[in-house]
């Protein structure tokens, strides 16, 4: 089986790269040039005994790794939307697997946890709630981004995509907790997972308020007199945004369970206990999101049922007025046939009698229909 996996790992990159118009840059690493010093690196530091080392050499990935190999500790390198060329040097310096590197560069990945030799590759979907004054059929409710994390024995490399999900504040917070940071790279991985899931909780609370407001708008008495169909677009749009939220939350549940339950050499046993709390919070959010989806289905069906009921009421009113108008139409049609011998044609009061009969019949029909709720 190991031989098959090695063969698959060797074949898959060649198949992917053969489909591209431009050749890959992973194998073009020049050891005489510092490829890792690129604009994609937003922060680079070495941590030893839970404290950041103030050394200019640690400001580049290559210098940080040299410090780690000489004096211990671990390096934390943060990148934002690196290109293949910008990431090539770092990938070669840290021995990252080409498949994981490709996923990190091109993004749009499903949340997952993969192990490549002595490196864990974790993908998180970050969710940001987009503030809006009023929910419309085109409102953007959630905005997604991605954070990829390479966790090794002595390094953590985070690759962020999208305008949201910055890890700067998280890094500063961790630097204020040296006893936690001293646990090594797995402490950073846990902090990132906890940060992402906390973001899910905040977004879930905000989306719940939107759903509550939408529910009030659909079922309030004032909504019955509004233009029909206006709520359907809003419901469908919010349902699409909840689906995007669901795609970020649901696939992450299994990786968090693995990190919290299965012993891993790269995860400190003390840190693994904290992953259980993250997995528990994530499970709660996942249940909320599934509930949101089901509730929106119910609201959408109720809205369509309301529209159907309103259409039936309109048809009943139209039918009622047609029945009333049918009486004078029938009488006038009879007297418009121009026969010489017809009832009451020569009678002095024949015309007002016919008009009175029409009025009485129409009034009786109107009153009966109104009593039965048709008008």
| pLDDT tens-digit map of 335-354 | 777 777 677 777 777 778 88
Rounded CA-CA distance 104/116 in Å is 14
Per-residue confidence band for 39, with pLDDT thresholds at 50, 70 and 90? low
Q: How far apart are CA 1 and CA 139, in angstroms?
A: 50
CB 158 within 8 A of CB 149: yes
The confidence score (pLDDT) of residue 302 equals 84
- Provide the mean pLDDT of the chain: 82
Q: What is the pLDDT of residue 364?
A: 87
The span from the CA of 52 to the CA of 181, in Å, is 10
Rg of the chain taking only CA atoms, in angstroms: 35
- pLDDT of 257-303, one tens digit each? 999 988 888 898 889 889 999 999 999 999 999 999 999 998 888 88
Per-residue DSSP letter, 227: P
The per-residue pLDDT for 227 is: 47
Q: Are 75 and 95 in contact (CB under 8 A)?
A: no
| pLDDT for 37 beyond 80 | no
Q: Could you tell me how far CA 16 lies from the centroid of its own chain?
A: 28
End-to-end CA distance of the chain: 77
CA atoms lying within 13 Å on the CB side of residue 224: 8
Structure tokens at 12: 């898959």
Give the residue among 125, 181, 189, 197 at the shortest CA–CA distance from 156: 189
CA distance 241 to 207: 9
C-alpha 126 chain-centroid distance:
9
Confidence of residue 34 (pLDDT cuts 50, 70, 90): very low
Name the pairing type of β-strands 74-80 and 41-48.
Answer: antiparallel
Does 76 score more than 60 pLDDT?
yes
pLDDT band at residue 107 under the 50/70/90 scheme: confident
Residue 158 has pLDDT above 90, yes or no: yes
The least confident of 111-120, 195-204, 271-280, 299-308 is: 299-308
**Half-sphere CA count of 174, side-chain side, radius 13 A:** 27
What is the model's pTM?
0.74
If residue 343 lies in a helix (H) or strand (E), which one and from where to where? none
Cα 315 from chain centre: 41
Taken in order of first residue, the domains within the chain and their CATH numbers are 41-306 (3.30.460.20), 311-372 (1.20.58)
Least confident piece of the model among 124-128, 163-167, 205-209: 163-167
Please, are residues 275 and 261 in contact by the beta-carbon 8 Å criterion?
Answer: no
Predicted pLDDT at 8: 39
Alpha carbon separation from 191 to 195, 278, 316, 322 (Å, rounded):
6, 10, 63, 71
When pLDDT is cut at 50, 70 and 90, the band that residue 221 belongs to is: low
Whether the predicted pLDDT of 138 surpasses 80:
yes
Average pLDDT for residues 52-69, to the nearest whole number? Answer: 86
Distance, CA of 304 to CA of 310 (rounded, Å)? 10
Q: For residue 5, is pLDDT > 70?
A: no
* Mean pLDDT, range 324-337, rounded to an integer: 82
Contact present, 251 and 228 (Cβ < 8 Å) = no
Q: CA–CA separation, 349 vs 339, rounded Å?
A: 19
Looking at residue 24, what is its pLDDT?
Answer: 32
What is the pLDDT averaged over residues 59-69?
88
The pLDDT value recorded for residue 249 is 94
């Amino acid at each position: 089986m190991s031989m098959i996996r090695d063969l698959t790992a060797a074949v898959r990159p060649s198949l992917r790269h053969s489909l591209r118009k431009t050749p890959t840059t992973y194998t073009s690493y020049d050891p005489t040039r510092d490829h890792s010093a690129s604009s994609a690196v937003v922060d680079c530091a070495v941590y030893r005994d839970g404290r950041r080392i103030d050394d200019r050499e640690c400001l580049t990935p290559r210098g940080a790794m040299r410090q780690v190999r000489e004096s211990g500790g671990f390096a934390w390198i943060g990148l934002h939307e690196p290109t293949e060329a910008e990431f090539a040097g770092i990938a070669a310096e840290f021995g990252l697997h080409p498949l994981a590197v490709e996923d990190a560069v091109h993004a749009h990945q499903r949340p997952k946890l993969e192990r490549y030799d002595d490196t864990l590759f974790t993908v998180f979907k970050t969710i940001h709630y987009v503030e809006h004054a009023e929910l419309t059929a085109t409102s953007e409710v959630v905005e997604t981004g991605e954070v990829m994390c390479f966790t090794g024995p002595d390094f953590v490399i985070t690759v962020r995509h999208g305008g949201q999900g910055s890890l700067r504040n998280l890094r500063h917070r961790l630097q204020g907790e040296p006893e936690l940071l001293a646990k090594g790279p797995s402490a950073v991985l846990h902090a990132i997972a906890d940060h992402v899931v906390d973001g899910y909780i905040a977004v879930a609370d905000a989306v719940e308020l939107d759903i509550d407001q939408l529910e009030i708008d659909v079922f309030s008495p004032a909504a019955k007199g509004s233009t029909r169909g206006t709520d359907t677009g809003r419901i469908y749009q919010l349902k699409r945004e909840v689906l995007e939220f669901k795609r970020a939350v649901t696939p992450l549940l299994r990786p968090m369970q693995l990190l919290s339950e299965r012993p891993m050499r790269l995860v400190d046993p003390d840190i693994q206990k904290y992953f259980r709390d993250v997995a528990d919070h994530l499970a709660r959010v996942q249940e909320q999101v599934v509930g949101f989806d089901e509730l929106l289905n119910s609201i959408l069906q109720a809205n369509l049922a309301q529209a159907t009921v309103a259409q039936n009421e309109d048809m009943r009113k139209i039918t009622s007025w047609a029945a009333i108008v049918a009486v004078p139409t029938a009488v006038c049609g009879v007297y418009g046939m121009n026969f010489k011998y017809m009832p009451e044609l020569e009678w002095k009061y024949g015309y007002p009698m016919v008009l009175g009969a029409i009025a009485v019949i129409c009034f009786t029909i109107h009153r009966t229909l109104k009593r039965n709720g048709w008008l």
